[in-house]
Amino acid sequence: MSLIEQINSEKLPKHIAIIMDGNGRWAKQKGMLRAFGHENGAKSVRTTVETCARLGVGHLTLYAFSTENWNRPKLEVEMLMKLLINSLKNEVKTLSKNNIRLNAIGNLDRLPKSAKKELLEVIEATKNNDRMVLTLALSYGSQEEIISAVKAIAVKVKNNIISTDAIDESIINQHLYTQNLPNVDLLIRTSGEQRISNFLLWQIAYAELYFTPVLWPDFNDEDLYAAIVSYQNRERRFGKTSDQIK
Ligand code: IPE
Ligand code: IPE
Ligand code: MG
């Protein structure tokens, strides 16, 4: 049976998050500059987005640029920001055609003005689409997100808007960038690295983790299907016993 035939469409992960890693190594293997890897990575973004929407996945969140990525060489950062602007310009039609709503999480004020403007325009242009929510994590760091949530909650406690006792999981969720997103069911990381790199630390509390050696520019539909099949073959127990689940 082919991989796609093995996918049970009733048990799809509601929210898939991907750490898209390995663009630089992919380019290096080909004797090319890192920029070439990023450009080809953008192609994998397009196919992955379209395939997730076609399968019926409700939420796809892509780690595109981390707070730590600001520390890369200036030229690479500039190149990535230009690529972001061009991709947004080129993809807005595809998003609308596929009825996909764009969303973004991260410290967007750190983005160059032109990139932030383009991003907000595409978010606005796609706001009524309801087949899938595509969230781009840009200038995103989970620790920074948690710090800003803690600060916002502390201010509310200080001003007697909420009491300390009222702070629970739901209050914390409401103060994260991901406030409107369901928790992650499946987290995929490409390129063979097995780490989280400051991505969605709170939101992956019970996600299934899937690591593949495939470098992001090579990641294709079959690789996505393989991740989903692996996910569907696991027993998610959420702390209970196997008997309780069955
Ligand atoms: C992922 O690929 C893209 C970003 C982090 C922006 P990398 O650029 O990290 O590629 P490697 O890990 O160096 O191969
Ligand atoms: C994580 O990849 C960030 C993105 C994919 C955007 P990195 O390549 O920056 O992660 P580390 O530094 O190897 O952990
Ligand atoms: Mg990397």
User: Would residue 66 count as lying in a domain?
Assistant: yes
User: Would residue 5 count as lying in a domain?
Assistant: no
Cα gap 63→79, rounded to integer Å: 17
User: Would residue 168 count as lying in a domain?
Assistant: no
Q: Exposure of 1 by Cβ count < 10 A (0-12 exposed, 13-18 middle, 19+ buried)?
A: exposed
Does pLDDT of 246 surpass 90? no
Alpha carbon of 199 to ligand 2 centroid (Å): 9
- Angle at which helix 74-97 crosses helix 113-125, to 10 degrees, equals 10
> Of all atoms in ligand 2, which is nearest to the CA of residue 195?
14
Alpha carbon of 205 to ligand 1 centroid (Å): 24
Instruction: Work out the angle at residue 115's Cα, subtended by the Cα atoms of residues 110 and 116, and round it to the nearest 5 degrees.
Output: 60
The whole-number average pLDDT for the span 65-91 is 98
Do 67 and 109 touch, CB atoms closer than 8 A?
no
User: Would residue 100 count as lying in a domain?
Assistant: yes
Q: What DSSP string runs through 42-107?
A: HHHHHHHHHHHHHHT-SEEEEEEEETGGGGS-HHHHHHHHHHHHHHHHHHHHHHHHTTEEEEEES-
User: Would residue 170 count as lying in a domain?
Assistant: no
Cα gap 23→43, rounded to integer Å: 11
The residue whose CA has the least distance to atom 9 of ligand 2 is 69
Q: Near ion ligand 3, which residues have CB within 5 Å?
A: 21
Cα gap 192→189, rounded to integer Å: 7
Q: Is 98 a catalytic residue?
A: no
Residue to mutate (ligand 2; options 18, 19, 20, 21; most atoms within 8 A of CB):
21
Looking at residue 178, what DSSP letter applies?
A: T
User: Would residue 159 count as lying in a domain?
Assistant: no
Q: Residue 105's domain is classified under what CATH number? A: 3.40.1180.10
User: Would residue 179 count as lying in a domain?
Assistant: no
The residue whose CA has the least distance to atom 3 of ligand 1 is 21
User: Would residue 109 count as lying in a domain?
Assistant: yes
Domain count, the chain: 1
Measured CA to CA in angstroms, residue 224 lies from 117, 151, 221 at distances of 31, 38, 5
- Which ligand has the nearest atom to the CA of 214? 1
Q: Note the pLDDT tens digit of each residue in 143-162.
A: 999 999 999 999 999 999 99
Q: Note the pLDDT tens digit of each residue in 8-54.
A: 999 999 999 999 999 999 999 999 999 999 999 999 999 999 999 99
The whole-number average pLDDT for the span 76-84 is 98
| Six-digit token string for 112 | 């160059």
| Chain CA centroid to CA 130, Å | 18
Q: Is-above-0.85 flag for pTM?
A: yes
What is the span of the domain harbouring residue 224?
11-141+184-233
Q: Is 103 a catalytic residue?
A: no
